[in-house]
Every structure is written in C-alpha cells, then in structure tokens.
Chains A and B, each alone.
Chain A
Amino acid sequence: MSGDDDGLREYVTSRLPSLRRSAFLMCGDWELATELTEACLARVVDGTRRGAVADADVYAYADLMEACRRRNRRREHVFVAAAGAEGVAAESILVLDALHKLAPRCRAVLVLRHWDGFDVDAVGAMLDLDDERVDAYERAGLAALEQLLADSRTALTR
C-alpha cells in the first residue's frame, strides 16, 4: 500500500469480493452487503490517502464488522437474494438462519476465522478482543451453530 491511487485501486479490486462475501454472511442481504462494503472501502481509501491507515486489512475488516453489527440491529430478513438470482438451496437458508441466531460478535468471529481464514491474533485486532475471548467466542459459536443446524434438520425431516 504505497498510498498512490494505482496501488489503492489494486488493493480495492482484490479485496472487494471477499469483503462483500463476509458482509453478506454477516447481514444476509447482497444489496446491503454491497453498500456496506463500498462505504467501508471508501473509508479505507480516504484514510490511506491521509496516511491514517496502518494495516489496511485490519482497518477494513474491523470497519466492516462494526458496520454490519450496527445494521444487524435493524435486520428484518434472514436472507435477501440478489436481484435476478436463481433459487437458493434450502440448506443455505438453514445455515444463514443458524448463523444469524448467533450473537453478532460470535458470528463475526466465525466468519473471520472460518470463511476469511484470519488467525486468532488478526481477528482479535479486528474485533478489539483478546485471544482468549476470540477462542471462547469461536468454541461457543461452533457448538451453538452445530446444535442449531441439527435442530433445523430434525425439524425438516419430521
């Protein structure tokens, strides 16, 4: 990240898809995920131009997770498909539903650790948590998700 616009454009191009997917897992709405990701990356670009961003990835994911957490309070639907998208598998709806039954911070830990593949230190920096708290959230989240998915499958097979 040299700060020039070419380097910034390259960074934005490379990070936009993964950030938008993480945002979608957090909010369940592709349109909202796109909006939040654009706003987040605009702040990254602005902050980098000013020299106010030390680690662009940490800054971007921390900003995005916080924006998703704030938006999630007003969430009405588990899943909102993209315009023109084909049908979505029932299994995906179940996973999203289970994911969204978790606490926002717990969900953020699972998304950052198991989808984006960040290590515990990076996730702690992004969510302003110490390593033990990240581990605790992760264990609790996985257990709860497993239970929720099992309950949902049971209900579907009845």
Chain B
Amino acid sequence: MTRPLSRLLEHVLDGEPAIGDEIDEIFRRADRLRRRRFQALIGAGLAVVAVIAAAGYALTSTLMPARNAAAPAPAAVPRATASPAPRPSAVDDPVLGLLAPIVDGRKERIYPRPPERGNGWRQYSVTDQDGTPRGTVAVAVYATGKSLCFPVPAAPHRCAKVEWAPAGVEYVRYDDEKDRDWQVHQTIARRISDGRTVALMATGERGDDDAAAGKPGLTGAQIEQVATDRRLFDAFGKDEDCFGPSSGACPAFKVPVPPAD
C-alpha cells in the first residue's frame, strides 16, 4: 500500500497555506530561547549564591560562639591594639560608668572580667594603653544593717575609726603596698541612711614579685573617691547583696566586710 498511501496523502495536503515570514519567526524564537536560557542560568547562579550565603550564615551563627552573653575575655589577657577597645556601655553597667572616667584619665582601659558580675558584685580588669595588664578592680555591696564594725586587719576584735564623706557615708581605707605580690587599694564604705555597705578594691598583678608590675590600676585616693560616691550604692539593684544566697561567688577582698551583727 506504499504507493497508494503516499498518493492519498498528497491529496490530503491540498489547500496547504503559503509560507510567509515563518523563517524569520523561527530565528526570532531561537533568539528568545537563547535569552531565556541565559536568564535561567543567571537566576540559577543567583539562587546558588543565595543558598551558599544562607548556609554559611546559618553555619557560622550556629558554630561560632555568641559575642555577648558568653562574654569574651579581653580582660584576662588583653591584647595590644592600636585603637582603644570599645568600653561596655555605662548605661548597662552603672558601676563601670563611675570607674571608667577615672581609669580613662590615667590613660588606661577597664573591661568586665569574666566572671564579670553576680548578685551584689562586679569585677573588672585594667590594662594600660599597650594592653599590659594592670590588675583588677572588684566591688561588692552588702546589706549590713544599722551598724558595722569596720575591721582592723591587725586586730581582729577591734573596730576601725571611720572617716566621713559627704551625704552620710562613713568609710575606711585599707591600702597595702608592702606585699610585692599583692598590692591593694581598698575602701569599705557604708551609707548611713540604709545601712548598705560597699567594698571597692583595686589590686595589681599578683605573683610578679615586682613592685612596679604589681601596682594597682587605681590609686587609693581614686578608690576612696568612687567608694564614697552615693551613685556607687545606687549602681546596684535594691535586692543585690553579697551576703545573700549566692554569696559564695563574691570576689575575695583583702579586708573582708564582716557580717552584720
């Protein structure tokens, strides 16, 4: 049936329309196909880049340690930097807000020192401009009630004679620079109006057997100035108390604050 079928099909094709501009249209379509393929390629490339970026972000944010709560330890072994390291906001830490201007005035830097804070206490590191450690600053607040026997290190059962600062604050300075391995500038101050007591202590680097290296980052007078400032008492929360439930975490002071009677 080969010949009959082809003859039959010839008749079927009667009335075939003439060819117009189909040739040009075919090439226009081919150009459109090429453009679409190029655009699809670009889109796929962008999608791949986006996926890689998202995966990278997810991986880094998952695997890298958080920068805030875990608190980096620049204070423990601060690195020398050409520009000053950023100081934590004084709004977030009012204690640091009182200490920082004095430290800055000495061309030094102060940072929170991990573990930097707890119920009733804060702890900082001081470095000089080239990053050399200049010891620590510790401060704690105690609810000592109506009276406090300021200790005398040399006579455990006696009370020290207090001095008075403006705004009803009594205080005693305890400076000890004889110990080459642990030089201390400390002040214990008590606010009469509410019986709150603060202990503020600056110590030099310990264990150097070097008087110059072990010199504290703040002078005794500067420690006294901050310790007797009313704002230091208010810099702690009302319920904060280093005699409280978590008192074990409070820093050790050269002259501890005795418990209230």
Contact = CB atoms under 8 A, between A and B. Distances in A.
Interface of A: 5, 8-9, 12-13, 16-17, 20-21, 24-25, 30, 34, 37-39, 41-43, 45-46, 49, 81-86, 88-89, 91-92, 95-96, 110-111, 114-115, 142, 145-146
Interface string B1-25: 1100110110111111101001101
Nearest to B6: A114
Contact of A142 (B5, B11, B23): B5
Q: Is the interface of A mostly helix, strand, loop or mixed?
A: helix
Given A8-B27, A42-B26, 20 more contacts: A9-B23, A12-B23, A12-B26, A25-B9, A25-B13, A30-B15, A34-B17, A38-B25, A42-B29, A42-B30, A42-B33, A43-B30, A49-B30, A81-B15, A83-B17, A91-B8, A92-B11, A95-B8, A96-B12, A115-B9
Given A110-B5, A114-B9, A43 B27 contact: no
Given A34-B22, A46-B30, A25 B17 contact: no
Given A42-B29, A110-B5, A114-B2, A85 B15 contact: yes
B41 to A, nearest CB: 12
Nearest to A21: B13
A5 to B, nearest CB: 8
Contacts, number: 87
How large, as a class, is the contact surface on chain B?
A: 20 to 34
Most buried by A among B6, B12, B25, B37: B12
Nearest to B33: A46
